[in-house]
Chain A
Amino acid sequence: MTSAHVPAWEQERRAIVVNAIGVGLATAAYGISFGAFAVSGGLSVLQAQILSVVMFTGGSQFALVGVIAAGGAMSSAVATASLLGLRNAFYGLSMSPVLSVTGARRAVAAQLTIDESTAMAVGRSGPGETLRAERLAFWATGLSVFVLWNLATLAGSLGAGLIGDPRTYGLDAAIGAGLLALVWPRLVDRRSVGVAVVSAVVALALTPVLQPGVPVLLTSVVAVVAGVSAVRDRASRGLT
């Protein structure tokens, strides 16, 4: 790296940090919904905050609170949250060679491994001198989202008592919309759209007959069937 590259890097560095703050602000709006939703669902302010600090993965947090709020079993709540969190393990798999950190730094990197930080890092990958851009995008986005998501959770959970019924502000509709926005970019082909539609129908069909939480959990079978059929398709086309 020669000095001629420094201004370009300086520019890129600034763009990465600005993007990271933007992503953090967007998730913060959603974090307010989470805090309010958690408290109206029966959690304390402290419990909501522990979820945002320690669990720190939005889809799982909403799933856990959703099952509890609907009166489901705690085992369903934990199982659904954990299954949704499994994707973070695969993010970690792709991020660990990029970050190449050990010890305490790895422990922190693991906690910051979420949809947003991984997506922003992957978005910076490509040919050439991009490793430090990827690393910066991961850390800046992860930290930005962590701080703003937690502040927003606190604002939402404290505010829930003040604003009264969160339904008045449509916060219950915001939850579904936010989860939909998480799944939307993944609907890239017919099979993934099929998985989404079948899972939604299965979950609704089972809602009146099974404990809250269980219908969502059972749609993991749809994912397994789709995964097996995708691998078979690829094998039959001679690809690996």
Chain B
Amino acid sequence: MTPIWTAVILGSLLCYAIKLAGHSVPHRFLDQPLVMSVSDYLPIALLSALVAVQTFAVGMHLVVDARLAGLLAAIVALALRAPFLVVVLVAAGTAAAFRALGWAA
């Protein structure tokens, strides 16, 4: 089995097991103030870190390219309470336009 297959299968099974655990384990295991509190912040930390890395990283290098224009456009769309679909399309369209016009790599 290739490493990618291992990651795909192991990651998928773990993510499903986590979902099933939420429906199955007794509430007292998860329903504690500290566990609940950390679990509130965990997606914020990881998703924000992913946004940053997806926008600026190429492997282990940091670069500024059309992705930043796309992200800034997405922030404007979110501030204007645009729906999810619009946010994603605005970001893609902005980055594509910057590249087509030669304003950014």
Contact = CB atoms under 8 A, between A and B. Distances in A.
Contacts of A59: 43, 46-47, 50
Chain A facing B: main interface SS: helix
A55 interface: yes
A234 B33 contact: yes
B43 A110 contact: no
Given A88-B19, A90-B30, A71 B92 contact: no
Contact of B46 (A80, A111, A180): A80
Interface string B78-100: 10000111011111111111011
Given A64-B7, A92-B19, A197 B48 contact: yes
25 contacts: A33-B92, A47-B4, A50-B12, A56-B16, A77-B7, A84-B42, A84-B46, A86-B18, A93-B31, A167-B95, A168-B96, A168-B99, A170-B91, A175-B54, A177-B71, A177-B90, A177-B91, A177-B92, A181-B87, A199-B44, A204-B56, A215-B53, A223-B45, A223-B46, A227-B41
Interface of B: 3-16, 18-24, 27, 30-31, 33-34, 36-62, 66-67, 69-71, 73-75, 78, 83-85, 87-97, 99-100
Given A174-B91, A199-B46, A223-B41, 8 more contacts: A93-B30, A175-B54, A176-B50, A195-B44, A200-B52, A202-B49, A231-B33, A240-B33
Interface of A: 25-27, 29-30, 33, 42-43, 47, 50-51, 54-57, 59-60, 62-64, 66, 68, 70-71, 74, 77-78, 80-93, 95-96, 106-107, 109-111, 113, 167-184, 186-187, 191-192, 195-197, 199-204, 207-212, 215-217, 219-220, 222-224, 226-228, 230-231, 234, 240
